[in-house]
A and B are shown apart, each in its own frame.
Chain A
Amino acid sequence: MSKDKTITDASLVERVKQGDTQAMEAIVERYSNKVYNLAYHLTRDPTASEEIMQDVFLTVLSKIHTLNNNAYFSTWLYRVTTNAAYAHMRDSRKVKKNLEDLRVKDLEKDTSQIYDWSSLPEDILLSDESKQILKDAIDSLPEPMRIVVLMKDVEGLKNEDIAKTLGLSLPAVKSRLHRARLLLRESLSNYFKKYATARPGGEQSEM
């Protein structure tokens, strides 16, 4: 089986279309963890995520002939995964959609507790506890924001690909991302402020 990372998705997809099982295995090597993780991020259910992953790859095989531009394979794969995960979530619980109710606190007026925790040492910033705070904060974001921030900041997809995957406009993706990041920053600020007194000044590293 080929492990060569220089082979493009497009050429692998072309070979799968011809029925090449080795190319299909290479695609599984390349994407199974990504598909699983995306499904897991969305559903928070390891068993369901394995099922979703299997369904996604079976869907890929049965529908791959409908993919016109092989270079869009990964975007298409993420869309198939997102749809499958959403279908699962619709079945198991109600997907929250009240995005319009959301208002990020007006930062302009919020001058309380402005503490620059970015100068804290790495061992505090990257501690298991602070990572857990961030994961919980991501989890508690409203669904439309959570999916965007997961795809962009956690999984590293491009805005354009997220827009295509979710069927959103680019400005909608950017706006959700910005609001999500502000909310996450606020959660982290609330957590890190306990270090504010221990390290007076906070903002010692002037620009």
Chain B
Amino acid sequence: MRCSQCIELFDDYIDGVLTRDTMEKIQAHLRECKHCRVIFHTYSLTIRLSKSCETFNTLSKERIKKLKQTLTRSLRMENKEM
């Protein structure tokens, strides 16, 4: 397996959707090739770190309450129209 092929398959490898044969080929390549191994470790960790960027914001209770009031009004109006 070439390095570029190996890297191309990282996502499927991580998701575990490859055939057993291909999985084994990737594992063998990663054992032999330090370059790809380093990229694989850091690539996997990049995905994990991205998850930690989740939810910068939480809406205030008042904002959610206001939204509910607006929507309730709107829903009641639609019910009347129907």
Q: How many A residues are at the interface, by size bracket? A: 35 or more
Kindly state whether residue A89 has any CB partner on chain B within 8 Å. no
Complex CA distance for A74 and B55, rounded to whole angstroms: 17
Contacts of A19 in B (CB 8 A): 75-76, 78-79, 82
Tally A-B pairs: CB < 8 A. 138
A66 at interface (Cβ–Cβ under 8 A)?
no
Q: Count the B residues whose beta carbon is within 8 Å of the partner chain — how many?
A: 45
Inter-chain contacts of A203 with B (CB < 8 A): 34, 37-38, 41
Q: Does chain B have a CB within 8 A of A184? A: yes
New contact pairs (6) apart from A58-B70, A131-B53, CB-CB < 8 Å: A58-B74, A62-B78, A114-B34, A130-B49, A154-B54, A184-B50
* Interface residues, chain B, with chain A CB atoms under 8 Å away: 2-4, 7-8, 10-11, 30-31, 34-35, 37-39, 41-47, 49-59, 63-64, 67-68, 70-72, 74-76, 78-79, 82
Could you show 29 A-B contacts with beta carbons less than 8 Å apart?
Answer: A16-B75, A24-B75, A29-B64, A32-B59, A32-B64, A33-B55, A37-B55, A49-B57, A53-B59, A53-B67, A54-B67, A57-B67, A57-B71, A58-B74, A61-B75, A106-B4, A108-B7, A114-B35, A117-B42, A117-B45, A134-B46, A153-B47, A154-B51, A177-B11, A181-B46, A188-B42, A203-B41, A207-B30, A207-B37
